């Protein structure tokens, strides 16, 4: 049986799925036709019910929950892994830090913010910390630093490997929005998860979950096994940055959400609904 599978070319995703798609583990008769896309494209494909299995932002999952269930394996959650709000102006950094979670003065409300997508979890967290910042421009995540340097935006919301490079470009951190989430909820931040179509047979969904779990475990046990594959999609990234990226986003929650991970996901949806960022979730979100 062939299933379509979508994930990003970022090192954390290629690290997770290497063993699965290259048959380094026994896939029990399943094969996977892979599509590589940035996170916002993956979100859009989930909204359109295009892929059997896909990575997507947890924020976006709230709008795709009718079609998909969340797998227990493959997620990106953790402490200290949140998106960063950055700027070119050191003065602006000082001003904004004082207002996190509170009303902004009118003079700051029109600041131009580059975001990696409307339905990213990063944008959800920005809405919690600075709800008044509504002058947003959607950009490919890798273009946000340059947009700041070019003065086409005032603030940038960065994800992935950019958290390791922004300082080298003379940019300043306003806030780690993951830290803001952790301080207010005491939960790890759920960034992205792997979902599967509800309409697939239960035994297939359970098998896919088990295979992704085994693929992550294989990667942890053989961390250099997928090096060439991972590097082929991260050609401009230094190897040290590549592995920092993996270490940051692939952890115990990627093997098994567990009680703590499920609680974090549930808290995210409850908090997002309470402030009007997502609709009420009516369906069970977890594969059972």
Whether residue 193 is found in the same domain as residue 178: no
Average pLDDT, the chain: 91
Cα–Cα distance, 50 to 54 (Å, whole number) = 9
77-88 tens-digit pLDDT:
988 778 899 999
**Domain-ending residue, one of 160, 185, 210:** 185
* Active-site residue, 160 included: yes
Residue 128 in marked binding region: no
Whether residue 73 is found in the same domain as residue 193: yes
pLDDT band at 250 (very low <50, low <70, confident <90, very high): very high
Whether residue 168 is found in the same domain as residue 109: yes
Whether residue 155 is found in the same domain as residue 177: yes
Q: What is the pLDDT of residue 129?
A: 84
Q: Given the residues 160, 245, 256, 273, select the one marked as catalytic.
A: 160
134-189 tens-digit pLDDT:
999 999 888 999 999 999 999 999 987 677 778 889 999 998 888 888 888 999 99
pLDDT band at 102 (very low <50, low <70, confident <90, very high): low
Look up the domain containing 148 and give its range: 84-185
- All residues at 6 or more sequence positions from 220 whose CB lies less than 8 Å from its CB, including other chains: 250, 255
Q: What is the pLDDT of residue 101?
A: 63
Number of compact structural domains in the chain: 2
Whether residue 201 is found in the same domain as residue 164: no
Q: Identify whether 282 is part of a domain.
A: no
Residue 89 in marked binding region: no
Residue 88 in marked binding region: no
Q: Identify whether 23 is part of a domain.
A: yes
Whether residue 119 is found in the same domain as residue 168: yes
217-247 tens-digit pLDDT:
999 999 999 999 999 998 767 888 888 889 8
Whether residue 74 is found in the same domain as residue 98: no
Residue 55 in marked binding region: yes
Whether residue 120 is found in the same domain as residue 145: yes
Q: Identify whether 249 is part of a domain.
A: yes
Q: Identify whether 18 is part of a domain.
A: yes
Whether residue 14 is found in the same domain as residue 98: no
Cα–Cα distance, 117 to 58 (Å, whole number) = 12
Q: Identify whether 287 is part of a domain.
A: no
Q: Identify whether 178 is part of a domain.
A: yes
Q: What is the pLDDT of residue 213?
A: 98
**Domain-ending residue, one of 128, 151, 185:** 185
Whether residue 194 is found in the same domain as residue 62: yes
Top pLDDT among 283 and 197 is at: 197
Q: Identify whether 231 is part of a domain.
A: yes
Q: What is the pLDDT of residue 229?
A: 95
Q: Identify whether 217 is part of a domain.
A: yes
**Domain-ending residue, one of 148, 168, 185:** 185
Residue 56 in marked binding region: yes
Whether residue 242 is found in the same domain as residue 261: yes
Whether residue 194 is found in the same domain as residue 181: no
Model's pTM, two decimal places? 0.85
Q: What is the 3-state secondary structure (H, E, C) of the chain?
A: CEEEEEECCCHHHHHHHHHHHCCCCCCCCCEEEEEECCHHHHHHHHHCCCCCEEEEEHHHHCCCCCCEEECCCCCEEECCCCCEEEECCHHHHHHHHCCCCCCCCHHHHCCCEEECCCCCHHHHHHHHHCCCCCCEEECCHHHHHHHHHCCCCCEEEECHHHHHCHHHHCCEEEEEHHHHHHHHHCCCEEEEEEEEECCCCHHHHHHHHHHHHHHHHHHHHCCCCCHHHHHHCCCCCCHHHHHHHHHHHCCHHHHCCHHHHHHHHHHHHHHHHHCCCCCCCCCCCECC
For residue 174, give the CATH number of its domain.
3.40.190.10
């Amino acid at each position: 049986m062939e299933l379509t599978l979508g994930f990003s070319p970022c090192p954390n995703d290629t690290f997770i799925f290497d063993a699965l798609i290259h048959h380094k583990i026994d896939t029990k008769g399943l094969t996977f036709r892979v599509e590589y896309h940035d996170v916002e494209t993956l979100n859009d494909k989930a909204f359109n019910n295009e892929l059997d299995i896909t990575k997507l932002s947890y924020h976006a999952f709230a709008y795709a929950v009718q079609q998909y269930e969340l797998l227990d394996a493959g997620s990106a959650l953790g402490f200290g892994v949140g998106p960063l709000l950055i700027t070119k102006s050191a003065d602006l950094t000082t001003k904004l830090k004082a207002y996190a979670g509170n009303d902004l003065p009118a003079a700051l409300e029109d600041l131009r913010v580059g975001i990696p997508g409307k339905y990213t979890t990063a944008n959800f967290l920005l809405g919690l910390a600075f709800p008044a910042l509504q002058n947003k421009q959607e950009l490919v995540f890798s273009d946000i630093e340059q947009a700041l340097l070019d003065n086409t935006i005032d603030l940038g919301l960065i994800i992935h490997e950019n958290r390791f490079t922004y300082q080298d470009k003379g940019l300043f951190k306003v806030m780690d929005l993951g830290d803001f989430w952790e301080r207010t909820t005491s939960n790890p931040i759920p960034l992205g998860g792997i979902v599967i179509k509800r309409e697939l047979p239960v035994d297939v969904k359970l098998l896919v979950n088990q295979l992704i779990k085994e693929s992550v475990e294989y990667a942890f046990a053989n961390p250099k096994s997928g090096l060439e594959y991972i590097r082929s999609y991260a050609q401009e990234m230094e190897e040290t940055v590549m592995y920092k990226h993996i270490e940051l986003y692939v952890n115990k929650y990627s093997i098994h959400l567990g009680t703590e991970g499920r609680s974090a996901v549930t808290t995210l949806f409850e908090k997002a609904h309470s402030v009007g960022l997502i609709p009420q979730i009516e369906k069970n979100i977890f594969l059972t």
